[in-house]
Chains A and B, each alone.
Chain A
């Protein structure tokens, strides 16, 4: 790496931490039912909504009821998205006159947005009407994110509960998170984005004659740029770890991400809420050291992998160097691997974003990951395969990390021969089983899904690149969907029936086979009484436990995925070196 990159990296992580700590404390207040602001217009709106919906805001749900509410709510959202996509041609808010979305793509997209994945088997500007972008996709960006945070709140309540068994009300959690956290953050970010040049209009398009028409072989005389309510969607897709772009090029599109300032704001927004939730968790379990320890463990994995990704992209592509291309990093050019990158962003901004968006299960991109160098693509892939627990999806990522914490105390307990405890709750067979189930289900989906794709001609036939890179495209697709990330190696053709069904299944497994075990675990923990910490208790804060947690995450990820990674990016890297 060269001089400016370490400063940019340090500034990024510094700004992230500075914003996440106070936000985390605020979210803890939002999630405390006995908490603040039972007066004021927001509280009146909330009470009105509860009355209309027939919700008792004081209800303490069992884990089964909480999970049932989440599932029904998500299912209703999924059906609504599907219906709007299929009916868009007959509904208003379609100034470009787009036809109905094809059935399988519409189903895949509905699953994708309801599960907080935002995998996109379509190009947004050419497929979705304004109404669908707003009333279907933007809504699920809010609600799937709120669902993830609600499940985290339930798990935290299960941990602190004194054998009462109550996890709070799913309806209250979703309402308060949406109204008090996501909406205000999204509105503020969206306005900043518009100021910088992100469109926000109900006009269909802008068009103009090109400066030098007929100069290209295709005799283009006019440029047409679809417009719409872009900023309002981009803001929440960044903040809610959704990632689904308004345009096909996502945040590489100059209308989604026009300046270095928007790139900084959007890349901070990717990690802001997942990072803040670490501190929220510390506040909810009444031990801030727990939040800091988990935050430190996440950063200890993310920071080196970010540096590695940036370094790989700045080093550039040896195949092009052989042609005499100047890819050196100087004051006059960003250099490095510029295929699939924007000039205003360059390899450093693209590397930071790639690591952040795959660490958090965001999945938005500001560069084409498919054209990254083999190692530059390897680290983002690994970050997804670790189970989206390094920050991960809003709420769901921290839940995943807490499962690893339970496995870590279990392993430590085995080593010293004591019943493991986590935050005063004894960890028993059922709890470890739930943790392992939630960790193994997405991993199995990735590996078996990739293996199946390798055997089905209709699946592997759509790869966009020859050799090991084609395998990487399929491995990336399954790693992304089964961990609810949503980014892609875009060369893979995913609009056919095999891929829409396989990735749709992967998204459902990745979301609900984590969410249900987490809630079952929360219910199990909530029924247990708290045991005071004794001299034999392993403290779950401080550097020792952070190290143990990092080791557990990396070990499980490495044992599961190194063979698969060796077949894709590792082979490709060695081939490029050998040229």
Chain B
């Protein structure tokens, strides 16, 4: 019984452990090269992010994504994970209270209630999306910071809303990075790149 165990283990290690992932990688690289390599978005030939990965943002001129619990910093791609705070944990309540305070301070007088996904940490710490409500909540702040009419920013958000699959599966959502990149486009990237150019390496 030792021989069949060892021979079959070796054979299946070759088949399922090497041949299967290798053939799949070859097929994926031919058929879906962009997705197979992380759905990286490029501008002027340089990568600026992934369509599937959220980024840490706290500049008032950009829409901010969900709070992230990765360590040491937020949106750390090398350490995906959640806060794992239980619903009754005082630390959760304190964290949410702080986030509400930051939002209120960034946009005094905003009458809208704070949407829950904007003040709770995502499961991956890399959530690329917001609910439409959480994006709309930030329209006032972003418009003011950019000196744009709020209606224009709101219209941009609405164009970026992705509905649930077939109207049933998943949640309605907005891709935050796509929205922020579109916002830069709308403002004229020349002006904006000038303002943030020192921090953003552009070729």
CB nearest neighbor in B for A327? B116
- Can you list, as one digit per residue, whether each of A225-252 has a CB less than 8 Å from chain B (1) or not (0)? 1110101110010000000000111001
A517 to chain B, nearest CB (A): 21
Check if A292 is an interface residue, CB within 8 A of chain B. no
The 8 Å CB contact of B4, one of A53, A196, A260, A370, is: A53
- Can you list, as one digit per residue, whether each of B129-146 has a CB less than 8 Å from chain A (1) or not (0)? 111111010000000000
Residues of chain B with a CB closer than 8 A to A202's CB: 25
Complex CA gap A365/B123 in Å reads: 10
A347 to chain B, nearest CB (A): 9
Contact A325 B47 (CB under 8 A): no
A193 to chain B, nearest CB (A): 9
Residues of chain A with a CB closer than 8 A to B122's CB: 252, 340-343
Contact B196 A212 (CB under 8 A): yes
Complex CA gap A258/B123 in Å reads: 13
A62 to chain B, nearest CB (A): 13
Contact B121 A211 (CB under 8 A): no
Check if B111 is an interface residue, CB within 8 A of chain A. no
Residues of chain B with a CB closer than 8 A to A179's CB: 15
Check if B188 is an interface residue, CB within 8 A of chain A. no
CB nearest neighbor in B for A365? B123
The 8 Å CB contact of B72, one of A143, A218, A254, is: A218
Knowing A211-B62, A325-B100, say if A370 contacts B86 (CB, 8 Å). Answer: yes
A56 to chain B, nearest CB (A): 10
Residues of chain B with a CB closer than 8 A to A77's CB: 9
Contact B128 A254 (CB under 8 A): yes
Complex CA gap A224/B120 in Å reads: 23
Check if A68 is an interface residue, CB within 8 A of chain B. yes
Contact B88 A264 (CB under 8 A): no
Residues of chain A with a CB closer than 8 A to B191's CB: none
B103 to chain A, nearest CB (A): 11
Contact B5 A76 (CB under 8 A): yes
Contact A260 B47 (CB under 8 A): no
Residues of chain B with a CB closer than 8 A to A371's CB: 82-87, 92
Contact A254 B53 (CB under 8 A): yes
Contact B72 A325 (CB under 8 A): no
Contact B58 A216 (CB under 8 A): yes
Q: Which of B30-61 contact A (CB under 8 A)?
A: 31-32, 35-40, 46-59
Complex CA gap A183/B89 in Å reads: 44
Check if A563 is an interface residue, CB within 8 A of chain B. no
Residues of chain B with a CB closer than 8 A to A532's CB: none
Residues of chain B with a CB closer than 8 A to A143's CB: 9, 12, 16
Complex CA gap A229/B23 in Å reads: 11
Residues of chain B with a CB closer than 8 A to A210's CB: 49, 55-56, 75
Contact B53 A225 (CB under 8 A): yes
Complex CA gap A136/B164 in Å reads: 37
| Chain A contact patch, size range | 35 or more
Which of A294-302, A386-394, A462-470, A478-486 participates in binding chain B? A462-470
Contact A340 B123 (CB under 8 A): yes
Contact B127 A343 (CB under 8 A): yes
Contact B117 A490 (CB under 8 A): no
Complex CA gap A332/B118 in Å reads: 13
Complex CA gap A264/B171 in Å reads: 12
Check if A4 is an interface residue, CB within 8 A of chain B. yes
Q: Which of A62-96 contact B (CB under 8 A)?
A: 65, 68-69, 72-73, 75-77, 80
The 8 Å CB contact of B171, one of A232, A249, A346, is: A346
The 8 Å CB contact of B170, one of A142, A224, A344, is: A344
- Can you list, as one digit per residue, whether each of B3-30 has a CB less than 8 Å from chain A (1) or not (0)? 1111111011101111011011101110
Residues of chain B with a CB closer than 8 A to A207's CB: 47
B109 to chain A, nearest CB (A): 15
Residues of chain B with a CB closer than 8 A to A413's CB: none
Complex CA gap A345/B172 in Å reads: 9
B140 to chain A, nearest CB (A): 16
Complex CA gap A320/B172 in Å reads: 22
Give the number of A-B contacts (CB < 8 Å): 420
Check if A97 is an interface residue, CB within 8 A of chain B. no
The 8 Å CB contact of B116, one of A249, A263, A325, A348, is: A325
Contact B37 A138 (CB under 8 A): no
Check if A450 is an interface residue, CB within 8 A of chain B. no
Complex CA gap A211/B8 in Å reads: 50
Contact A231 B28 (CB under 8 A): yes
CB nearest neighbor in A for B121? A339
Complex CA gap A247/B70 in Å reads: 13
Contact B89 A229 (CB under 8 A): no
Residues of chain A with a CB closer than 8 A to B201's CB: 209
Check if A197 is an interface residue, CB within 8 A of chain B. yes
Residues of chain B with a CB closer than 8 A to A365's CB: 123
CB nearest neighbor in A for B62? A212
Residues of chain A with a CB closer than 8 A to B15's CB: 178-179, 183
Of A186, A194, A247, chain B has the most CB atoms within 10 Å of the CB of A194
The 8 Å CB contact of A232, one of B21, B59, B79, B114, is: B21
Knowing A211-B48, A332-B133, A572-B86, say if A201 contacts B40 (CB, 8 Å). Answer: no
Complex CA gap A218/B125 in Å reads: 15
Contact B13 A264 (CB under 8 A): no
Contact A209 B200 (CB under 8 A): yes
Complex CA gap A370/B89 in Å reads: 11
Complex CA gap A207/B129 in Å reads: 20
Residues of chain B with a CB closer than 8 A to A178's CB: 12, 15-16
Check if A430 is an interface residue, CB within 8 A of chain B. no
Residues of chain A with a CB closer than 8 A to B32's CB: 194-195
Check if B150 is an interface residue, CB within 8 A of chain A. no
Q: Which of B69-118 contact A (CB under 8 A)?
A: 72-90, 92-93, 96-97, 100, 113-117
Check if B119 is an interface residue, CB within 8 A of chain A. yes
Complex CA gap A294/B6 in Å reads: 36
Knowing A72-B2, A220-B75, A343-B127, say if A323 contacts B100 (CB, 8 Å). Answer: yes
Please list 17 pairs of residues, one from A and one from B, whose beta carbons are closer than 8 Å in the complex, sorted by A's number.
A53-B8, A126-B79, A135-B17, A178-B16, A197-B35, A199-B36, A201-B25, A206-B50, A211-B49, A211-B180, A212-B55, A225-B78, A254-B53, A264-B165, A326-B116, A343-B66, A572-B88
B residues contacting A by CB (< 8 A) are 1-9, 11-13, 15-18, 20-21, 23-25, 27-29, 31-32, 35-40, 46-59, 62, 66, 72-90, 92-93, 96-97, 100, 113-117, 119-134, 136, 164-165, 167-173, 177, 180-181, 196, 199-201
> Top 3 closest A-B pairs, CB basis?
A260-B170, A252-B123, A368-B82
